[in-house]
Amino acid sequence: MKKTAKLFGIAALVAAMATISTTGAFAQVPLSFGVGSSLISGFGGGVSGRVTEAGDVVPFRLGNEVYRHESYTGRASSIFFDAHFVQLSLGYFSGTSATRSRSSASNPGVAAPTVTGSAGRSGIEIGLLGKFPVGLSDRVTVFPLGGIAYRLVLTGTPMPPIDLGGGNNNLSLNPFYLSALWFRLGGGMDFALTQGVFLRSTITYGIRLRNRWENDVINHAPFENGPVGDARWLINYDSARLGHGVDITVGVGFRLR
């Protein structure tokens, strides 16, 4: 519910800025729109913790570090509206995620179990970036940019933290729980083809807030793993790993004024 409210907040802000840009002193602000294609990525994220209890059969697991992290790469298509100092974008993305869970081995003679997997992911993203254009020539304009984006995941399933041997796991695997708010910083360049048409390229690095899945894993810890009895061990996930990524976009824009 809070994340939905953030989306409405972003939309309200953009609507207010659009209204201001068409009145008063802002009436002559250059306006343009366009379409773009992106390579997107996400690294890190996930959760980490330690084994807090271990049965007599697996005492070597006690104190082991355990983590689950996910990375993904993919493509996105988007439309953007530009008011010279502000860019609003809306796009659809899809990609493939790679997941990895691992338990470290404190006993050198025992192999640490590792589980990997992959899954698709898709959804929509709305972004709002501030920019400061600087003209280098009649054709070339460069600009730093920074702002926020909300990546809403519609399809895809997070890998459960309990995947090394079974156990109890009451977490919801709703793909929406992978959605997150991103903070982005980067730069771009416009190259004018004609007076009304230009090419745009941008690159941004982003850091995201924890998603709901990560919060739920931490709040529901500890988790049971392994068979019951002497072979049982408990994992306490207590921290989230940093989620970050790079997006590269190229597109074509059309000036309205």
CATH number for the domain harbouring residue 61:
2.40.160.20
Summarised one tens digit per residue, pLDDT across range 146-204 is 999 999 999 877 666 544 444 445 566 788 888 999 999 999 999 999 999 999 999 99
N-term to C-term CA, the chain: 38
Higher pLDDT, residue 15 or 255: 255
Report DSSP state, residue 27.
Answer: T
Looking at the structure of the chain, the number of domains it has is: 1
Indicate the pTM of the whole model. Answer: 0.80
- The residue among 68, 82, 71 whose CA lies nearest residue 252 is 82
Q: How far apart are CA 188 and CA 60, in angstroms?
A: 52
Sequence-separated (6 or more) residues with CB below 8 Å from residue 195: 255
Torsion sign over Cα 156, 146, 204, 142: positive
39 — pLDDT class (breaks 50, 70, 90): very high
> Which of 97-101, 176-180, 207-211 is least confident?
97-101
82 — pLDDT class (breaks 50, 70, 90): very high
Q: Tell me what pLDDT residue 205 has.
A: 97
Range of the domain at 152: 2-255
- The residue with tokens 């379409």 is 35
- The residue among 24, 30, 68 whose CA lies nearest residue 237 is 68
* Dihedrals phi, psi of 176, to nearest 5 degrees: -60, -25
**What is the residue-averaged pLDDT of the chain?**
80
Summarised one tens digit per residue, pLDDT across range 9-28 is 555 455 455 544 445 555 68
User: How many other C-beta atoms are found inside a 10 Å radius of the C-beta of residue 46?
Assistant: 24
